[in-house]
Amino acid sequence: MDLDLAQLRALDATVTAGTLEGAARALHVTPSAISQRLRALEAATGRVLLVRSKPVQVTESGQPVLRLARQVALLAADATRELETDDGGRPVTLPIAVNADSMATWVLPALAPLAGELAFDLHREDQEHTAALLRDGRVMAAVTAAADPVPGCTVTRLGGMRYRPMATAAFVDRWFPDGVTPEALSRVPVVGFDRQDDLQDRYLRSRGVDPAVPPQHHVPASADYVAAVRLGFGWGMVPRQQEPPGELVQLDADGAVDVVLHWQQWRLRSPSLDRVVAAVLAAARRELDQPR
């Protein structure tokens, strides 16, 4: 099966932009040209690759073709930079999925030294769901809780983030006068990150409490989440890397939840991707809890 590079670029640009019009602007062609290239690519593969919604959705058959398109684009960009053509200064764009707490604590500092030479398209997603973005071809690497490799990817253990149930001392005095009991946890407000985050639920279940019972706030931004706990909205599971010194107390000495993170990436040798993984692994060794 011979696949045309212009057609692959059209697929990549359409998924990135979300619409045919956006892809046309990115590639400096007409929407009609993008549509023709996509139809030709689907004819060549014999499969429907995109659902023409807004934004477009990649079909299951489209996922490996999108992955191929982005692998080809990465290798071409690396080669262009090495050849130092007129376009040699254009940075390679690397789409990477990262969980919010890692992005807020250790990933951005790890990537910062590379930001002058590489462009990062960071996708924020819960660590339990970042692997799905790898699977459908939207990203080429991910920080994920998934230890089993996505097809076509390698996996490397990064280390752990330890989350502890924490609140302000004043909050504990008000809501837990008789200690942190299941009865108290059933009525005390809890701060959740978003509706995909189950860290608080896991702790509550470990204490015999139905997570649906306590009132819950949702604060879907990492720094703001910790701020909400500091302001007394409720108790929450705070990662060690974000604990504000001296401002919060731990509810339960045995209540820590450990989340082990992994780095998954396409099984592809690329100078740009190699530099990123080296920076990420070095930062993980410094910042994450490592097995002894």
Render pLDDT for 30-59 as a digit per residue (tens, 0 to 9).
Answer: 999 999 999 999 999 999 999 998 899 899
CA of 10: how far to CAs of 122, 136, 137, 250, in Å?
21, 17, 15, 52
And the tokens for 264? 């998954």
Look at the chain and count its residues: 292
Share of the chain above pLDDT 90, in %: 68
The answer to whether 210 and 204 have CB atoms below 8 angstroms apart is yes
Alpha helix (H) residue ranges in the chain: 5-17, 20-27, 31-45, 62-83, 100-102, 108-111, 130-135, 169-175, 182-185, 199-206, 222-230, 271-287
Q: Given pLDDT bands bounded at 50, 70 and 90, which one contains residue 182?
A: very high
CA of 177: how far to CAs of 171, 184, 185, in Å?
10, 9, 12
Assess whether pLDDT exceeds 70 at residue 86.
Answer: no
Taken in order of first residue, the domains within the chain and their CATH numbers are 1-82 (1.10.10.10), 161-257 (3.40.190.10)
Site of tokens 């809780």: 145
Q: What is the mean pLDDT of the chain?
A: 91
What are the tens digits of pLDDT across the range 15-25? Answer: 989 999 999 99
Assess whether pLDDT exceeds 80 at residue 1.
Answer: no
Q: How far apart are CA 79 and CA 92, in angstroms?
A: 10
